[in-house]
Amino acid sequence: MKKLLLLPILFFVTILSFAQDLSYYLPNDVTYNKAVPTPKDIIYHEVGEWHVTHDRLVNYMKAVAAAAPERIKFETMGFSYEDRPQVLLIITSPKNHARLEEIRQQHIKLTDPSQSASVNTENMPIVVYMGHSIHGNESSGANASLVGAYYLAAAQGKQIDELLDNVVILFDPSFNPDGLQRFSTWANQHKSKNLVSDPNSREFNEVWPGGRFNHYWFDLNRDWLPAVHRESQNRLTWFHKWKPNILTDHHEQGSSSTFFFQPGVPSRVNPLTPEKTRS
Ligand SMILES: [Zn+2]
């Protein structure tokens, strides 16, 4: 009898430990273009079920770009030391894509004081660079980029149309391809069949050098200014080609940590950020 009672409980626990499908992450008041593949269609697992490897991530970015060419242009910025492509999706409305180079040139003029006064900014989209997981073992960024790319490629309706009319998004799903590949291989290889949260689990204790670094064990987050590594050089070439208004840099904190805010100068904190979330 006790065993019979246990069965439904085990079943329930098993359901809970499965990764969620996309409806968990996405707004439910939006319809999605069925011609755009979901991440699972291409990478063979739900987002969050396994750590996405860099090569599957690239496969997905190629697939969304091919399925929504009116919104997405696929670019390869260069290659990591282990010859993994550094992918950049340029995402904006079809109307903006039709004059993308003109938008870029107008936008760049704003950085030149001798020309900026002549630029009409009335209907000029802003430029946002979204970069993910420069520390390869802070992989929630790269895994979240699957959902982000799907939404931007497939969502339908007024809200997404307005967003894409007003923004050119330079979407970089993996700042550190070699680190992401190293970490995802380790974590997937050592993951327990039944999920565990014990920090002593082998899954959570990578061997040196771990996925934080690039091929030469260099922390690419320390290379934005010196730019001695090819991943940084390739990325910064595109950064300066576009000079984005905003760059978002998707890292990861520990599961019990707050969000990170730069210490020292209070004015750096966006006033819209609630007090309780500041560390
Ligand atoms: Zn980090």
Per-residue pLDDT of 2-35, as tens digits, reads 444 444 444 444 444 456 799 999 998 999 999 9
Mean pLDDT over the full length of the chain: 91
Q: How far is the CA of 3 from the centre of ligand 1 (A)?
A: 46
Q: Are 153 and 64 in contact (CB under 8 A)?
A: yes
Q: How far is the CA of 28 from the centre of ligand 1 (A)?
A: 31
Top-tier CATH class for 32-193+201-253? alpha beta
pLDDT band at 279 (very low <50, low <70, confident <90, very high): low
Which pLDDT tens digit goes with each residue over 75-95? 999 999 999 999 999 999 999
Q: How far is the CA of 68 from the centre of ligand 1 (A)?
A: 31
Q: How far is the CA of 138 from the centre of ligand 1 (A)?
A: 6
Domain ranges of the chain: 32-193+201-253
* 118-136 average pLDDT score: 95
Q: How far is the CA of 252 from the centre of ligand 1 (A)?
A: 6
Bridge pairing between strands 85-91 and 167-172: antiparallel
Which pLDDT tens digit goes with each residue over 202-233? 999 999 999 999 999 999 999 999 999 999 99
What is the reported pTM? 0.89
Q: How far is the CA of 199 from the centre of ligand 1 (A)?
A: 19
Q: How far is the CA of 161 from the centre of ligand 1 (A)?
A: 32
Q: What is the 3-class SS of the chain, one letter each residue?
A: CHHHHHHHHHHHHHHHHCCCCHHHCCCCCCEECCCCCCHHHHHCCCECCECCCHHHHHHHHHHHHHHCCCCEEEEEEEECCCCCEEEEEEECCHHHHCCHHHHHHHHHHCCCCCCHHHCCCCCCCEEEEEEECCCCCCCHHHHHHHHHHHHHHHEECHHHHHHHHHEEEEEECCCCHHHHHHHHHHHHHHCCCCCCCCCCCHHHCCCCCCCCCCCCCCCHHHCCCCCCCHHHHHHHHHHHHHCCCEEEEECCCCCCCCCCCCCCCHHHCCCCCCHHHCC
Q: At what angle do helices 158-166 and 140-154 cross, to 10 degrees?
A: 110
Which pLDDT tens digit goes with each residue over 40-68? 999 999 999 999 999 999 999 999 999 99
Q: How far is the CA of 251 from the centre of ligand 1 (A)?
A: 4
Q: How far is the CA of 132 from the centre of ligand 1 (A)?
A: 10
Q: How far is the CA of 90 from the centre of ligand 1 (A)?
A: 24
